[in-house]
Amino acid sequence: MPLSLSDEELSVDLQLIVDGVCEQTLYNDLIDYSLPIPPPKLSQANQQWVKELLAPIRGANGASL
């Protein structure tokens, strides 16, 4: 993100920023990730991807898509 060639390169921890925003806005409390994904419906491939992505959050007996 240097603005000119002589500026030093910066390192930005985007995950830290996203985590902070989620914590401050209480998204984890507002969104129930155990519920099925609402319309529009996803393709089979995308449903599988989301299912695998949310598996750690939902736990072993989590809701299906």
pLDDT along the chain (65 residues), means of 10: 79 91 83 81 90 84 53
On whether the pTM is more than 0.85, the answer is: no
Provide the pLDDT for residue 9: 82
CA angle centred on 55, ends 30 and 48, rounded to 5°:
105
Where exactly are the structural domains of the chain? Answer: 35-65
pLDDT at residue 60, as a whole number? 60
